[in-house]
Structure 1
Amino acid sequence: MTKIGDAIVAMSNWLWGPPLLILLGCGGLFLTIRFGFLQFRYIGYIFSQTFGKMFKKTEDGISPFQACTASLAACVGASNIAGVPVAIAFGGPGALVWMWILAFMGCATKFCEIALGIKYREKNEVGEWVGGPMYYMKKGIKNKKLGAALAFIFALVMMFENVPSAAAQMVSAIQNATSIGLPAMGTGIAIIVVVALVALGGIKRITAVTDKMVPIMVIAYVVGGLIVLCANVTALPHALAVIVKSAFTPMAPVGGFAGSTIAAAIQWGAARGAYSNEAGDGAAPFIHSAATVDHPVRQGFFGVFEVFVDTMIVCTFTGLICVVSGAWMKIDGSNAATMPGIAFSSVFGSAGPIFLTVLILIFVVSTLIVLVQVGTKSAEYCFGYKFGQIFRYVYFVGMFLGIIGGLEFVYRFLDFFFALLIISNMIGVFMLHGDVVQLIKEFFNTPGKYYLKDIAEKKGGK
């Protein structure tokens, strides 16, 4: 068993090198070109339909923004705070530049996933909208046997992968909680209770909570980060210069930083971007497919919005405070996750780590809430609605094992499972991207509807 485990880990490490980064990076670039650079050409319009419609409610189902905040709850997590410093520690500050580049390409990927999710969604036996990669693979791919096989593999892997993922999220929460003196068991049980109260209420209760939780936690983190940046404002120009320069030139060791190459900056930055905004892993369409929206493309805009908030705002603030505060030069790679705490402590003193830990705990709760929903719908697709309702309790078992220490062996396979999700989903996205090209043409060019109607109303002052 150990040899098998070692082989899977070795395969995972190889996949998360050039293969997946090329798949995600070049795949995102390909989709960007095929969609006519949509995320750049229509950026103003996209923000007017996302930022500009944040508080618009819907009478039936959940609003597009509620679906977006629930999806953001899944990708804006503890890794946004702990993962970015790791990328800086091993790839140098220049990793941030490559993280941004992959994020811009990832906008097209996530847009495509969500648009396909809306196009191919369906009602389940209790009248709920359900969707995701398994639905667009099964219904959209012309080779029905291939589509059904890819769909089942994706859903089955997602269903089981979310169990150790739940445990891993809990481990992160417990480590941060105990660092400021909170009891492990008490904190863990409290998290499980909160997650259960929300997640077991279904998509409407989830979105009712996340549409308030996500803006608050993001704004709180950004405000804290702005204070740190303002306290180090004189160092900001130099920090930005170091970030840009080190993205394209090797960096020598300095302080606790061991030095890096251009290849390391690309790999660590791109990998951080992929992990962070989740463009390509197929999770976003699960939540977005429940939205009440007039056209798949309009909901797809929220994919661009999500990547922007997750990577260009949250991850960027994490990276900037680590660099401007000098924390990246003080800490070696083995302790990289402590960089943000050091940065906040330099301004807030002992209150800094407490503030950061509380935010991380909220981030973990939001991620776990959506993780349960996505896993439940995956199980439902594979084995039916009733099975999904029963299987969702397995995720709470996973959380509890994260508190007491369990599933350590399975943790080794998390990256491998995640890679399988991305590979199977991206195959479906590539095979069906032509559908999205047609949807884009329909949305932007249909006289009297969608984009043209919005523009006419704006010009008319309505």
Structure 2
Amino acid sequence: MELLNSFFSAINSVVWGPVMLVLLFGVGLYLQFGLRLMPIRKLGEGFSLLWKGRSSESSDRDQGEISPFNALMTALSATIGTGNIAGVATAIALGGPGAVFWMWLTALVGMATKFAEAVLAVRYRETDSQGNHVGGPMYYIRNGLGKRWAWLGGMFAFFGAVAAFGIGNTVQANSVADALTTSFGIPAWVTGLVIMVLAGAVILGGIKRISQVAGKLVPLMAIAYFSASVVVLVINADQVLGAFGMIFEYAFQPIAASGGFAGAAVAAAIRFGVARGIFSNEAGLGSAPIAHAAAQTRNPVRQGLIAMLGTFIDTLVVCTMTALVILTSTHWLDGESGAGLTSLSFDSGLPGFGEALVAIALAVFAFTTILGWSFYGEKCFQYLFGDRAIVVYRVVFVLAVPVGAMAHLDLIWLIADTFNAMMAIPNLIALALLSPVVFKLTRDYFAGKTVLPGEDLNSHRD
């Protein structure tokens, strides 16, 4: 066990190290400039399409399983999670307030990455034996780069299937169990069983049921968390401008140690801001396009414009609210970190309610993450083992939930976190090589030309 721990620790330090962060940030920057900052310039159009995409046009209903709106909500269900609560707090605790600026920058770059992922997912998606649309990095690698690259798609699918059991299942269940035990004294095994029953009722119904639940629960939880954050910031209104000042000031200069806070250099702010930002919004990891491939749309660029909003909402809205709540309190100077820091910060603004509020938010966020990642892992498993493996995967995934809630997950977390990062390697290669396709389809769309999904363009594939 110790040998395995050391082995994966060594790999993890590389795959989540500076080189990987530079690759993720670099590919996103390349796509953003290649698109001439279109994801930023067309943000308003993205929200307009999202609103219209709550239901699909009748002509599009046979082109996917879920509405464009629910496709984004499914993707957000997997991304809005512990990273928005614990990840932001960790970034501030280790990198100082300046880390938030680099999280923002990562999100602006990541919007282009998410756009490109969704465009390629719809462009190169397929239909399985049951008539359902399937897509994601493994498909746009095989169909876009050619069959000689299929092994790279298989690598992504393997990493994704394994990571889903960790980062998207057992680790989430464990986080919920720990939060509810600490705040309300609920035994871990009770939490595990309840989540298993609730998650099973949704997951066993497939993507349509997952998207329906996500389409209602994600907006509700995001608005509730945002509203609670606004209340705290109104109470701490005299500290808000100071918080913004610290974010911009310490993004470019070191911050000295104070109280329990150890201080941080600019390099630490960049490192932890970029790392936590990517961990939170998953831009470049290749998970979200699996959900967007199921959208009821005939236009990959339209879905890309909707998909990029996931990064905006996750990091520039939800993570920012968490960061401001933390920085308008004084607890970040006490040496606290993780979800505990966020809880203390909310509790200082809402005494007697803040800790419970964070525990409930963490539970709901983690539950929806389990739903979203169940679909990601299922599609990766289906790619590797065929359509008949779907039911087996769903059952095993649901049964793993209570195990995660009660187990000590140090090694599982390490393996899952490592494989989660390794998903990015084949995905980034595909994004770079297929970027000309993204650029051309985008130019065609804004030039008023017809842009069709991949299933209508089979004869033109390389």
**TM, length-normalised to structure 1:** 0.93
Q: Which residue of 2 aligns with 1:328?
A: 332
Q: Which residue of 1 aligns with 2:180?
A: 177
Shift of 1:343: 1.7
Asked if structure 1 preserves the Cα contact closer than 8 Å seen for 2:45 and 2:305, the reply is no
Question: In the aligned structure 1, how far is the partner of 2:153 from the partner of 2:392?
Answer: 21
Deviating more after overlay: 427-436 vs 391-400: 391-400
Correspondence 1:49-198 to 2 at 5 A: 49-50=49-50, 52-53=51-52, 55-59=54-58, 60=61, 61-142=65-146, 144-145=147-148, 147-165=149-167, 166-180=169-183, 181-198=185-202
Shift of 1:127: 0.7
Q: Which residue of 1 aligns with 2:19?
A: 19
Q: Which residue of 1 aligns with 2:356?
A: 354
Q: Which residue of 2 aligns with 1:458?
A: none
Q: Which residue of 2 aligns with 1:456?
A: none
Deviating more after overlay: 280-289 vs 323-332: 323-332
How many residues get paired?
A: 444
Correspondence 1:397-436 to 2 at 5 A: 397-405=399-407, 408-436=410-438
Change (3 A) 1:264 1:407: closer
Question: In the aligned structure 2, how far is the partner of 1:206 from the partner of 1:411?
Answer: 25
- Secondary structure of the 2:186 match is coil
Q: Which residue of 2 aligns with 1:44?
A: 44
Question: In the aligned structure 2, how far is the partner of 1:233 from the partner of 1:138?
Answer: 52
Q: Residue type matched to 1:211 in 2?
A: G
Per-residue CA deviation, residues 171-226 of structure 1 (Å, 9 max, x unaligned), is: 11111010112222112211111111111101111111111100000000000000
Asked if structure 2 preserves the Cα contact closer than 8 Å seen for 1:137 and 1:150, the reply is yes
- 1:377 matches 2:379: yes
Question: In the aligned structure 2, how far is the partner of 1:349 from the partner of 1:276?
Answer: 28
- Secondary structure of the 2:21 match is helix
Q: Which residue of 2 aligns with 1:29?
A: 29
Q: Which residue of 1 aligns with 2:223?
A: 219
Asked if structure 2 preserves the Cα contact closer than 8 Å seen for 1:375 and 1:392, the reply is no
Shift of 1:266: 0.1
Alpha-carbon RMSD across the aligned residues, in angstroms, is 1.5
Change (3 A) 1:294 1:54: closer
Question: In the aligned structure 2, how far is the partner of 1:373 from the partner of 1:54?
Answer: 21
Asked if structure 2 preserves the Cα contact closer than 8 Å seen for 1:378 and 1:388, the reply is no
- Secondary structure of the 1:412 match is helix
Unaligned residue ranges in structure 2 (runs of 5+): 452-462
Asked if structure 1 preserves the Cα contact closer than 8 Å seen for 2:157 and 2:383, the reply is yes
Identity score, percent:
37
- 1:241 matches 2:245: yes
Question: In the aligned structure 1, how far is the partner of 2:132 from the partner of 2:225?
Answer: 34
**TM, length-normalised to structure 2:** 0.93
Shift of 1:407: 5.0
Q: Residue type matched to 2:28 in 1?
A: G
Change (3 A) 1:182 1:407: closer
Question: In the aligned structure 1, how far is the partner of 2:231 from the partner of 2:100?
Answer: 20
Shift of 1:369: 0.8
Question: In the aligned structure 2, how far is the partner of 1:220 from the partner of 1:43?
Answer: 23
Shift of 1:443: 0.6
Shift of 1:331: 3.1
Question: In the aligned structure 2, how far is the partner of 1:426 from the partner of 1:217?
Answer: 31
- Equivalent residue for 1:314, pick from 311, 318, 321: 318
Per-residue CA deviation, residues 136-190 of structure 1 (Å, 9 max, x unaligned), is: 0011104x32x11101111111112211221111111111010112222112211
Shift of 1:339: 1.6
Unaligned residue ranges in structure 1 (runs of 5+): 451-462
